[in-house]
Amino acid sequence: MAGHKSTSEWEKDFAACDSDNNGSLDVSEVKTLLKKGNSNLTDTQIQNFFEHFEGPGGNKKITKEEFIAGLKKIEDFIQELKQVFEEHDADKSGSLDRRELKAILDSFGEAFTENEINDIIKDVDPSGDGKVSFEEFVAAFT
């Protein structure tokens, strides 16, 4: 499951954060859950979190079923990113260099300038080594 936890571990986390034991997590309980994972999301990101798990127009209460299904979607998306990353890591170095990253960006059907590529690398490469690790790649898309 997402975050390298099993479904039962996520279910335990869910239950531990469901402070009123009503079978769903409200905004306050989600914030508690995220803090346990050392995540400090903004209010806008919290709203996006609910939309991901409930869909648009949800009631701001995530059931355990919605939670597990949302985690599965995240896991599937990360697997897709891994496949794209590995397909474009031509030298199998475990990181994307400028040329490899440009190939991924070009596959979106839009041409990026060298300055745009530089800006993207600055944004997604906090280590500053000029290469994009898989972790940096995932962080850029999640």
Across 19-56, b (16+ Cβ under 10 Å) vs e yields eeeeebbbeebbbebbeeeeeeeeeeeeeebbeebbee
- For 132, phi then psi, to 5°, come to -110, 115
* CATH topology (fold) of 89-141: Recoverin; domain 1 (1.10.238)
State the residue for tokens 């390298």. 4
**Fold match, 2-75 / 89-141:** yes
* CATH for the 2-75 domain, from 3.30.930.10, 1.10.238.10, 1.20.1260.10, 3.40.640.10: 1.10.238.10
Q: What is the pTM (predicted TM-score) of this model?
A: 0.76
The span from the CA of 5 to the CA of 142, in Å, is 18
Residue count of the chain, please give it.
142
- Model pLDDT for residues 43-96, shown as the tens digit of each residue: 888 888 899 899 888 899 999 999 999 989 988 999 999 999 999 999 999 999
Q: Where are the domains of the chain?
A: 2-75, 89-141
Position 130 pLDDT exceeds 60: yes
Residue pair 66/77 in contact (Cβ under 8 Å)? The answer is: no
- Model pLDDT for residues 81-116, shown as the tens digit of each residue: 999 999 999 999 999 998 999 899 888 888 888 898
The span from the CA of 108 to the CA of 88, in Å, is 13
**Structural element, H or E, at residue 90:** none
Per-residue pLDDT at 46: 86
